[in-house]
Amino acid sequence: MTTVASLSLLPHLLIKPSFRCCSRKGVGRYGGIKVYAVLGDDGAEYAKNNTWEALFHVDDPGPRVPIAKGKFLDVNQALEVVRFDIQYCDWRARQDLLTIMVLHNKVVEVLNPLAREFKSIGTLRKELAELQEELAKAHNQVHLSETRVSSALDKLAQMETLVNDRLLQDGGSSASTAECTSLAPSTSATSRIVNKKPPRRSLNVSGPVQPYNPSLKNFWYPVAFSSDLKDDTMVPIDCFEEQWVIFRGNDGRPGCVMNTCAHRACPLHLGSVNEGRIQCPYHGWEYSTDGKCEKMPSTKMLNVRIRSLPCFEQEGMVWIWPGNDPPTSTIPSLLPPSGFTIHAEIVMELPVEHGLLLDNLLDLAHAPFTHTSTFAKGWSVPSLVKFLTPSSGLQGYWDPYPIDMEFRPPCMVLSTIGISKPGKLEGKSTKQCSTHLHQLHICLPSSRNKTRLLYRMSLDFAPWIKHVLNEDLRLVLGQQERMINGANVWNWPVSYDKLGIRYRLWRDAIERGVDRLPFSNQNEDEDEDEDEDEDDGQS
């Protein structure tokens, strides 16, 4: 309800010129609010005794909130909650209307020519200033009421779902009870079966890769390096099993559109970029970065548009927002720490699911076993590997390896490795090392069995890059094959799996749509948690 719309609902008796404003205040009072009387030609008071007075004789339903009698609402209780919500919305709307009527009367009193004769300009200015302040408060109150109404409607929808679910459960439980009664030896045995507590949930990642939950799309995803996107080039990508193409518009800004021509479904990336528009190679249709078709050779121009995604460029990276929710206004920084120089940027297409690849990147306890010919050559195998994490967060460091690591939602892993030269460990922490390797891994979910990997490295270890990735890839491919066949890739987590476990719990929370994500509050005290059993796969 807007202020303008509310004023349009005021009774005509309040705005007719023939009425005059009474300077007496407090003639009527509702809910502690002063009501200014409006007098007609005959001197009658309309604010106290008129046909509109009944509009506001509605009691506050707050004290009559329905009380839940158990953990679950039955059908009657749910309907009572729905009825209470409707009553509350009605009462709140009447209170807002009353507030607006009061302010209207004040406007009439201040601006009335009869009243103005007896007031100085200074007094009028003061009253107008006070009135403006009250109008601002009323405006805020109207917006608050809109929010309450919206929340009430959401609750109504939830209650409707609850009622339907309870009806289905009641029907199903009746049938189950009848079946158990006929088969069970006694009622007590049936009761023991029904009341048996379900086993504790554990982390289980097995079976074929499931379709992506829409909640996972509501993030900014980095999809390309700026250096790969020239003014006349296109970068085709797959994201969440949809095909897109990125190119630069006439203003130099990147855009992301569906990689399919609206005419004959020809892949647009097979064409070219012409004056900031992507041109289809089939019939020459040209599209701008927002997906609008701006050129159709040899035919009448039609209003045609293809899908596009919000696209933004920051710090040498092109980002897209593939979700349906409005994009957030902030994009995280992925630049290396101060003092580092970017030496290499590589893009690879890997035939593995992006979650498995993230699991691998977040686990460096495998380094002395897998990366024996690259940066971990010569590393000793310690008797115990621990991953120390803050009490809240998705980052930490390895002990006794000089490795700092962080998972940054939704698909980025940043790591810093302290190392002097290949095969030699200089210290047990990055702070004890004089030189470091900083890595950024971005695992874009192209499809359920394919990942677009963007890798950025700082310092001068470029000859190792592909070799290191290939060492990991042969392991992850084997994991994926066994996972699809039913093996649980997180069957027995141990202490150094903490960060990988936290990533899986974070992703599970995203897909379940929980309000508060785990490990997301970075403002809490970041005391190191050295409890080895904290994240042993239990949720």
DSSP for 359-399, please give it. Answer: HHHT--TTHHHH-TTTTTTT----S--EEEEESSSSEEEEE
Residue 75 and residue 163 in contact, taking contact as beta carbons nearer than 8 Å: yes
pLDDT of residue 365: 57
pLDDT of 377 reads: 55
**What are the tens digits of pLDDT across the range 425-472?**
555 666 667 677 888 999 999 998 899 999 998 874 444 555 555 555
| Structural element, H or E, at residue 314 | strand 311-314
CATH 2.102.10.10 in the chain: give the residue spans.
Answer: 214-320
For 126-183, what is each residue's pLDDT tens digit? 877 887 777 777 766 666 666 666 656 666 666 666 666 665 555 555 444 444 444 4
- The torsion angles phi and psi of 244, rounded to 5 degrees, stand at -130, 165
pLDDT at residue 121, as a whole number: 75
Residue extent(s) of CATH 3.90.380.10 domains in the chain: 342-529
Cβ atoms of residues 354 and 451 within 8 Å: yes
Topology (CATH) of 342-529: Naphthalene 1,2-dioxygenase Alpha Subunit; Chain A, domain 1 (3.90.380)
Distances (CA, A) of 366 to 126, 379, 529: 75, 11, 22
What was the pLDDT predicted at 364?
61
> What is residue 90's predicted lDDT score, i.e. its pLDDT?
75
DSSP code of residue 305: B
Q: Report cis status (omega within 30 of 0) of the bond before 66.
A: no
Q: Which residue has the tokens 């929340």?
A: 151
| Count of other CB atoms within 10 angstroms of residue 520 | 12
Residues of the chain with pLDDT under 70: 1-58, 61-79, 81-82, 110-119, 139-207, 364-401, 420-432, 434, 460-501, 519-539
Does residue 246 contact residue 224 with C-beta atoms inside 8 Å? yes
Can you give the pLDDT at residue 168? Answer: 57
pLDDT at position 304 is 96
Q: How many CB atoms lie within 10 A of CB 359?
A: 21
Phi, psi of 313 (to 5 degrees): -120, 130
- pLDDT attached to residue 191: 39
Q: How far is CA 455 from CA 223, 366, 444, 539, in A?
A: 11, 20, 11, 31
> Helix (H) and strand (E) counts for the chain?
9, 23
If residue 235 lies in a helix (H) or strand (E), which one and from where to where? strand 235-239
Helix, strand and coil content of the chain, in percent to the nearest 5, comes to 35, 20, 45
Give backbone dihedrals phi and psi of 255, rounded to 5 degrees, phi first.
-135, 155
pLDDT for 98 equals 77
Output the pLDDT for position 244.
Answer: 98
The CATH class of the 214-320 domain is: mainly beta
